[in-house]
Amino acid sequence: MEKQILQDLKAVAESKKIHIISFIEAKKCRSIDFSSDGFIRDNLETIIARRGYQSYTVTSLNKHLKDNKMPLDPHIVAITIVDLEGRIISSTDETMIGKDMSEQEIYIKSINKNYGETYVGQSYKSPYLDINCIFISAPLILKRGGGTIGVIINAYNLESLNEIMTNRVGMGETGEAYLVNNSNKIMLTKSRFIEGADLKQVVDTAPIRKTTKHGVEMTGIYPDYRGVSIIGASAYFPEYGWTLLAEMDLAEAFAPLRGLSITALVVGSLCGAVAIGMGVVFSLSASRSINRLKSATEIMASGDLIYRVDINRKDEIGALASGFNVMAGKLNLLYVSMKSRTVELIKAIKKLKAEIAKRNRAEEQIKISLREKEILLGEVHHRVKNNLQIISSLLDMGSMQTQNQETIDLFTDCRNRVDSIALVHAQLYKSERFDNIDMEEHIKQLSKYLLQIYASKKTIKFVIKHADIHLSITRAIPCALVLNELISNAIKHAYKEGQKGTIGISMLESSDGAMTISVKDDGMGIPEEIDIDRTNSLGLSLVRNLVYKQLGGIINIKRNRGTELIIEFRPQSGRASR
């Protein structure tokens, strides 16, 4: 009987373990989904760039979290956005904005993770939310594989785990299941016997010591956190450092066995009395009634507890038969009770399996949704590239409608600028990833294209060095336009017709994350009287606006055996990815 009870409790522990793992995985998927929200990421970049923690952008982001994200999951009690310095810059609870999270484990463990990874923190009562919570965090990454710009932390009501653990169907009057944090041996979920024990009650019992020291699960009989002898089974969560215990008071678990012992004693006593009575009855010629009682005993011993002895006498044998029938009735009731409890346990296990299957289907739906987003993003880049090619064709057609060379040159320059942006989107469409641009490949394609346009009567060679750098699309497009202008100017103005030359292009990243773009030619050089910062040239004006306003950088020029233009800037919110 002890073995059967232990097997039943182990089944309960494993079922609830599967239920909890499914629940946590669903919440981790929800956190990953939130971390990929473009609105959150774009607004976080803006807030960091402006250092405006009280700006309209912060208010807009708070509203987005509260109105569009929290309603997606009824278990979420708060969503918090933390920057790279560990300071809260946005939250559904605006009183938390400005708080320092840099020393909190939920922030430290998540800040260095990659996209798609999460961290499940320890459960505790949040001082800001005044509620028992479990925290799950995920890093916020620049679009498509850039650097980390912050962390999103979802706080879930610990009551959601209590809903799983306090479902005690089939566990009797004293059965309970609860979670324990191995690191501090504190009970995480509610106790059946002690009010307010969650996150307070210390549980230093045999199964907790085994999982803490050796990571080994156990079943057996031992004193629980109340000091009461129980029979129980454990299930270990090594990833989270939790142990789940399913237990039942020893007194209740073996109550049927004690009842059977008493019944067996009564049966033995009755059999002894019957044996003694047989001699007396036999002497009084009453052997028939004794034989009927003997037959009834054999029938009950074979398992038929419904059978009753039909002896209607008012003497001692009649009383014995009546007591025998009462005993048989009690045994039958005990058997029916145990069978009913077994049926309840089977129903509970089937219900848990159905819930697990439902959660698995929901998780698969989330994965399908993420794949659909990837396909949609690829199609967007394809459409943008096609639209830019249409604009390029229209500019080309416009240049054919005029004979004025200056106008034709303007059309050509505009077309080349549009084509340089189209090259970026073409690369994104062909790439397996949509979050960054291979700048070395872009420079090769751009220089080859511009050479075909402008250098039909010139022999120019390109030397590309140290350009193994990837940028997000928001930084790659202005860089592409700057490179287009600088390379075009070098091809058109540095060399005379028929002249040979070499144009060197490099893109470097220093150890502190600063980016340097250099375009150097060995041609005639820019005249000394031309000031890059004051010239009215359309191309150089465009370069100034892109570098100063979009890239936040500086421009340097060197006139030594040709011209070298150097652009220096820092990638927005973190270093470029390699």
- Per residue in 143-159, pLDDT (tens digit) is 766 789 999 999 999 99
Q: Report the pLDDT averaged over residues 291-315.
A: 75
**What pLDDT shows up at residue 212?**
95
At 455, the pLDDT band (50, 70, 90 cuts) reads low
pLDDT at 285: 42
How many alpha carbons lie under 13 Å from residue 27 in its C-beta half-sphere?
A: 27
Q: What is the pLDDT of residue 469?
A: 84
End-to-end CA separation in angstroms for the chain: 64
Poorest-confidence range of 129-138, 379-388, 486-495? 379-388
Instruction: Name residues whose C-beta falls within 8 Å of residue 489's C-beta, 6 or more positions apart in sequence.
Output: 539, 540
Digit-coded pLDDT (tens) for 269-285: 564 555 555 554 445 54
- Under the banding of pLDDT at 50, 70 and 90, the label for residue 576 is very low
Task: Give the residue, 312 or 362, on which the prediction is more confident.
Answer: 362
134 and 45 within one domain: yes
Mean pLDDT of the chain: 83
Looking at the structure, do residues 67 and 187 belong to the same domain, yes or no?
no
Q: Are 480 and 470 in contact (CB under 8 A)?
A: no
Say what the pLDDT of residue 217 is: 96
Mean pLDDT on 120-145: 84
The CATH number that applies at residue 474 is 3.30.565.10
- Name the residue with tokens 């399908």: 368
Distance CA 71, CA 63 (A): 12
- Helix or strand run (H / E) with residue 490: helix 473-493
* Mean pLDDT within 116-125: 88
Do 559 and 443 share a domain, yes or no?
yes
Q: Tell me the DSSP string of 211-227.
A: HHHH----EEEEE-TTS
Per DSSP, what are the bridge partners of residue 569?
515
Q: In CATH, what number is assigned to the domain containing residue 135?
A: 3.30.450.20
- The H or E element spanning position 564 is strand 563-569
Predicted pLDDT at 186: 95
Q: Residue range 410-430: average pLDDT?
A: 73
Domain closes at, from 326, 343, 358: 358
Rounded Cα distance between 514 and 481, Å, is: 19
Residues 213 and 307 occupy one common structural domain: no
Cα 556 to chain centroid distance, Å, stands at 46
Give the Cα separation of 50 and 57 in Å (integer): 10
Q: Considering the domain boundaries, does residue 25 fall inside one?
A: no
- 43 and 104 together in one domain: yes
Q: What is the DSSP string of 289-339?
A: HHHHHHHHHHHHHTT--S-------SSHHHHHHHHHHHHHHHHHHHHHHHH
Residues 216 and 337 in one domain: no
pLDDT tens column, 382-406: 566 667 778 877 777 877 888 888 8
Encoded tokens for 369: 């949704």
Same structural domain, 276 and 354: yes
Q: What is the pLDDT of residue 79?
A: 97
Residue 573, pLDDT > 60, answer no
For residue 407, tell me if it sits in a domain.
no
Q: Does residue 12 belong to any structural domain of this protein?
A: no
> Do residues 226 and 273 share a domain?
no
Within 10 Å of residue 355's Cβ, how many Cβ atoms? 17
Question: How many Cα atoms sit within 13 Å of 285 on the Cβ side?
Answer: 0
DSSP class per residue in 109-176: HHHTPPTT--EE---EEETTTTEEEEEEEEEEESTTT--EEEEEEEEEETHHHHHHHT--TTSTTT-E
Higher pLDDT, 426 or 492: 492
Closest CA to 478 of 408, 545, 575: 545
Residue 337: partners with Cβ closer than 8 Å, 6 or more residues away? 256
Average pLDDT over residues 199-220: 95
Is-contact 271 253, C-beta < 8 A? no
The helix/strand count (H/E) of the chain reads as 14, 18
Domain check: are 441 and 555 in the same one? yes
Question: Do residues 147 and 221 both lie within one domain?
Answer: no
Q: Please report the pLDDT score of residue 442 as a whole number.
A: 84
Instruction: Count up the domains in the chain and report the number.
Output: 4
In this predicted model, what pLDDT tens digit does every residue of 338-352 receive, in sequence order?
888 888 889 899 899
Q: Which residue has the tokens 């202008």?
A: 485
How does residue 431 score in pLDDT terms, banded at 50, 70 and 90?
low
Own/partner pairs for 296-302, CB < 8 Å, 24+ apart?
296/324, 297/267, 297/271, 297/324, 300/328, 300/331
**Taking a C-beta distance cutoff of 8 angstroms, is the pair 307, 290 a contact?**
no
For residue 513, the SS3 value is: coil
Q: Residue 447: give the domain boundaries.
A: 434-569
pLDDT at 374 over 90: no
- Are residues 194 and 92 part of one domain? no
Average pLDDT over residues 297-316: 75
In a domain, 344, yes or no: yes
pLDDT tens digit sequence for 101-110 = 999 999 999 9
Q: Does residue 176 fall inside a structural domain?
A: no
Whole-number pLDDT of residue 574: 42
Residues 115 and 219 in one domain: no
At 575, the pLDDT band (50, 70, 90 cuts) reads very low
User: What mean pLDDT comes out for the span 155-183?
Assistant: 92
Is 238 a domain residue?
Answer: yes
Q: Is residue 9 part of a domain?
A: no
Q: Last residue of a domain, which of 358, 393, 408?
A: 358
Does any domain span residue 148? yes
What pLDDT shows up at residue 530?
A: 80
The residue among 231, 253, 275 that closes a domain is 253
